[in-house]
Structure 1
Amino acid sequence: MLNRKPIFDEVRLLLGRGFDQAEVVRLDAAIDRALGTASHTRQLCDAGRTLIRKWEGCARRRADGRFEAYPDPGSANGEPWTIGWGSTGPDIRKGVIWTQAECDARFDRDIVRYVEEVAAALGDAPTTRDQFDALVSFHYNTGAIGRATLTRLHKAGRFAESQAEFGKWIYNDGRPMDGLRIRRNDEAALYGLI
């Protein structure tokens, strides 16, 4: 992987100033085009995978080492039932038990769809690796990449405003959740890294 810091440092010296976020994204995209590696921003990197797994966890480990499904702790009706690394769906309900390997395999399968949905929602909008990872984490948790104002702002190159939108997604059943507040702070921090 190319160390981009010397390039950014040299351009800062030439300009005699630092960059705003939009300039960082544009310069990053130009480097990618020059290297023929622009597609990297449409893949989940380690930072995104780590962030998602940090917040989803593999909860409800049983004494035998397997994992059992549990109701959503923040919703009034317990929906959706969840297992492993935040996996939900019609096949996840009370009584479902998986091994660690099943949890990992389901995450690997599901994350492909979330990555594709975020990539489709962003289109050709300039996006850094960290921004993409943060947006995938957001979408994995909310399913809202297609309707979120932060997506529209990102596509318009209004990155600071987009970053601020993460903090609005902290509610479950109309109640603010401390865990969601902290997760959104983590996502916004990753999104804004330069």
Structure 2
Amino acid sequence: MDVSPIGRAALEGREGNVLTAYKDSVGTWTIGTGITTASGLIKVVPGLKITPAQSDALFAAAVEKYAAPVRAALSRPVPQPFFDACVSLAYNIGPVGFAHSSVVRLANAGNLPAAIEAFLMWNKPAAIISRRQGERDQAALASYDGAKVYARRGDRTLVKALAGPAPVPAKQPDPLAPMTGAKPAAVTPAKPGLLTRLKDLFLGRKAA
């Protein structure tokens, strides 16, 4: 199972999109759609700036990265909205925290109603509560057909499905080189994977 377009849109709505590095609510340097150094995708340092295209590529890679451990943790089939909400939760609390959560334990035991309510157990800091409520409401949907989805409970704007990851530019300057020490590398093989294309984007390499 993959994250649906509306699932990605809900996640992006919860994370926001900031192109200059900033400290989050717990003091961690963050950029783009909630991307931190812990993601393994980029080293976030003070003063770092990225382009909208780079942010889109990072987000696409991060969604793929966090969807994998959710698939591995869930042993029973679940509705698409529940899966999407789980990826949103894992994106926020990390794959290890998610794998050991009551959400997973209850879902794997076949108690989906209790698993849905277990999203609300992850309620610290207080600023996260409306997000967690939005994830819980999303997880409670049997499907997206005719459903109203909000990134956070209390939002007035409905989530609109994203058309898909932004295309990776064939070639562009590397604005991160002065900060990361990135050096040009060889041209990548044909049909590169998403993570390879993300690396190409930051190193300014031409996609095959």
Distance 1:134 1:171 in 2: 17
Counterpart of 2:32, as a letter, is G
Count residues with an aligned counterpart.
Answer: 136
Matched, 1:93 2:45: yes
Equivalent residue, structure 1, for 2:86: 135
Q: TM-score, normalised by structure 2?
A: 0.63
Q: TM-score, normalised by structure 1?
A: 0.67
**Matched residue SS, 1:103:** helix
Supply the RMSD in Å over aligned alpha carbons. Answer: 1.1
Equivalent residue, structure 2, for 1:147: 100
CA deviation after TM superposition for structure 1 residue 47, in Å: 2.1
**Uncovered stretches (5+) of structure 1, i.e. residues with no partner:** 1-41, 60-66
Distance 1:47 1:101 in 2: 20
**Uncovered stretches (5+) of structure 2, i.e. residues with no partner:** 143-208
Equivalent residue, structure 1, for 2:110: 157
Correspondence list, 1:30-179, <5 A:
42-59=1-18, 67-72=19-24, 74-75=25-26, 78-79=27-28, 81-89=29-37, 91-123=43-75, 125-143=76-94, 144-172=97-125, 176-177=126-127
Give the fraction of aligned pairs with identical amino acids, expressed as a percent.
32
Distance 1:47 1:154 in 2: 22
**Matched residue SS, 1:95:** coil
Distance 1:94 1:170 in 2: 28
Distance 1:159 1:104 in 2: 32
Matched, 1:184 2:135: no
Q: Name the structure with the higher helix share.
A: 1
Q: Which has the larger radius of gyration?
A: 1
CA deviation after TM superposition for structure 1 residue 103, in Å: 0.5
Counterpart of 1:135, as a letter, is C
**Matched residue SS, 1:157:** coil
Counterpart of 2:7, as a letter, is G
Deviation string, structure 1 residues 109-135 (Cα, Å, up to 9, x no partner): 121111111000113x12111110010
Work out whether residues 8 and 63 of structure 2, in 8 Å CA contact, stay in contact via their aligned partners in 1. no
**Matched residue SS, 1:83:** strand
Q: Which stretches of structure 1, 4 residues or longer, exceed 6 Å deviation after superposition?
A: none
Work out whether residues 103 and 116 of structure 2, in 8 Å CA contact, stay in contact via their aligned partners in 1. yes
Distance 1:159 1:141 in 2: 21
